[in-house]
Amino acid sequence: MRLWLVVAVAVAGLAAPAAELNTAPTFAKDVSRLIQKNCEGCHRPGQVGPFSLTSYEEVKAFAPEIKRATQARKMPPWHAVPGYGDFKNERRLSDDQIATLARWVDAGAPKGNLKDLPPPVKHNDDWLLGAPDAVITPEVSFEMTAEGVDEYRCFVVPTQYVEDRNIQAVEVRPGNRRVVHHVLVYSDVSGKARQLDSADPRPGFTCFGGLGFLPSGGLGGWAPGAVPGRLPEDVGRPLAKGADIVMQVHYHKTGKAETDRSSLGLHFNRQPVTKHFRSRPIANIGIRIPAGAERHKETARWTLSGDLLAYSITPHMHLLGVEMLVTVTFPDGTEQPLVWAKPYDFNWQTSYVFRQPMLLPKGARIDVTGYFDNSAGNPKNPSNPLKDVRWGEGTTDEMLIGWLGYVTEAR
């Protein structure tokens, strides 16, 4: 009898964990937290996600799509291949998290006990980084015709600050996402941008093919999928007193008349700045992607003329771009990857911020290798019939740029 009791107790002790392992995850206890942390930022009313995922009913309705997108690693939109760079802004699900979502979907998306639900997340639907210290907005909206070539428009906004400032974070808020292709922001102390604005009868001035002035600095920008972030407390982007801020907005026509009035939020550094943030494009303006090519390779490179502290890397191509690898080769011949964006997705452009800034010595070479699909099998290919595609500023042109963010000593 005693032996039977010992065996029974042992079997009972083993059965509970086995049962727990076979129990399907529930929305309340498991899935809701994954969705809150990794999906709700975009998938809620008024944001870029095409549908909302803020309730059980909404998540259940898209359960099969969630399973497919996460298993294919299309969502969350993080395209850096593991092992090719180490980034502090990584938004990537683990294999276990993806498996949890799949098990939940396969089990019929059980709701679970409502007592297990986490508290709702309080999202900031106005400015993602909170209320800015200053909001920069052109005086009037810009009106576009229904058809025609892409437009690059530069809007000039005076700041009239009486002392130099340092900007810790910049958040661009596109006014009309249907037409805004990207936004780049500059400062100008020469007055040239203001002159160009005054000479153009429409709001801003045309700046397709070049700004038309030499900026005193770059302040950041926005592209589809970009998520604003703050620089470290002692790092800032310099803004000289009395400078004008120039927003260069690239517009792509939709086939109907549109208007836009994009805004810019500035967050100033709260403590003394010891380093300034800069960026450098590593580009090849001589690219040519032949019609029909499924995997066409183009490269760019830059050799450092002095030491540099690298902070981030941002791949940039257009609709034909499918993959980009950026590496650094040190003077002793050793090679290290900075990022491998595979697949590259124009709709989710990311600045990959290194977990620790990297010291790149004088003589180091940075290589950018991009692959393009100019075939009929590329659903994003805008050309029909197919044609050779070269470097250009239009959406249907192409680019090959690795934007290297780095910091210098503040002077």
- In this predicted model, what pLDDT tens digit does every residue of 98-154 receive, in sequence order? 999 999 999 999 999 999 999 988 876 678 888 999 999 999 999 999 988 889 999
| Alpha carbons 364 and 43: distance in angstroms, whole number | 41
Residue 275 has a pLDDT of: 94
- Buried b / exposed e along 66-76 (16+ C-beta atoms within 10 A): bbebbeeeebb
Residue 248 has a pLDDT of: 95
- In this predicted model, what pLDDT tens digit does every residue of 240-269 receive, in sequence order? 999 999 999 999 888 999 999 999 999 999
pLDDT score of 13 more than 50 = no
Q: Are residues 39 and 95 in the same domain?
A: yes
Q: Are residues 330 and 362 in the same domain?
A: yes
How many domains in the chain? 3
Q: Are residues 68 and 165 in the same domain?
A: no
Q: What is the mean pLDDT of residues 382-398?
A: 92
- At 21, is the pLDDT very low, low, confident or very high (cuts 50, 70, 90)? very low
pLDDT score of 2 more than 60 = no
Q: What is the mean pLDDT of residues 317-327?
A: 97
- In this predicted model, what pLDDT tens digit does every residue of 180-227 receive, in sequence order? 988 999 999 999 999 999 999 999 999 987 888 999 989 988 888 788
Q: Are residues 253 and 329 in the same domain?
A: no
What's the mean pLDDT when you consider all of the chain?
90
Q: Is residue 100 part of a domain?
A: yes
Residue 395 has a pLDDT of: 80
Closest to 172 in 3D by CA, of 37, 266, 60: 266
Domain containing residue 197: CATH number: 2.60.120.310
Q: Are residues 61 and 138 in the same domain?
A: no
pLDDT score of 10 more than 60 = no
Q: Are residues 246 and 152 in the same domain?
A: yes
pLDDT score of 166 more than 80 = yes
Of 60, 86, 116, which one is at a domain's C-terminal end?
Answer: 116
Q: Are residues 155 and 243 in the same domain?
A: yes
Q: Are residues 242 and 220 in the same domain?
A: yes
Q: Are residues 159 and 265 in the same domain?
A: yes
**C-alpha to C-alpha distances, 236 to 131, 170, 180, 406, nearest whole angstrom:** 18, 10, 26, 11
Question: By residue range, what is the domain housing residue 79?
Answer: 24-116
Q: Is residue 394 part of a domain?
A: yes
Q: Are residues 158 and 234 in the same domain?
A: yes
Residue 318 has a pLDDT of: 94
Q: What is the mean pLDDT of residues 269-280?
A: 94
Q: Are residues 161 and 230 in the same domain?
A: yes
Peptide bond into 232 cis (omega under 30): no
Of 245, 271, 297, which one is at a domain's C-terminal end?
Answer: 271
Q: Is residue 16 part of a domain?
A: no
Q: Is residue 214 part of a domain?
A: yes
Peptide bond into 76 cis (omega under 30): yes
Domain containing residue 373: CATH number: 2.60.120.230
Q: Is residue 72 part of a domain?
A: yes
pLDDT score of 11 more than 50 = no
| Alpha carbons 411 and 402: distance in angstroms, whole number | 27
pLDDT score of 8 more than 50 = no
Q: Is residue 8 part of a domain?
A: no
Q: Are residues 266 and 291 in the same domain?
A: no
Residue 402 has a pLDDT of: 97
Phi then psi dihedrals of residue 146, to 5 deg: -70, -35
Q: What is the mean pLDDT of residues 281-300?
A: 98
Residue 380 has a pLDDT of: 95
- At 22, is the pLDDT very low, low, confident or very high (cuts 50, 70, 90)? low
Of 87, 116, 145, which one is at a domain's C-terminal end?
Answer: 116
Q: Is residue 2 part of a domain?
A: no
Q: Is residue 60 part of a domain?
A: yes
Q: What is the mean pLDDT of residues 66-92?
A: 92
pLDDT score of 37 more than 70 = yes
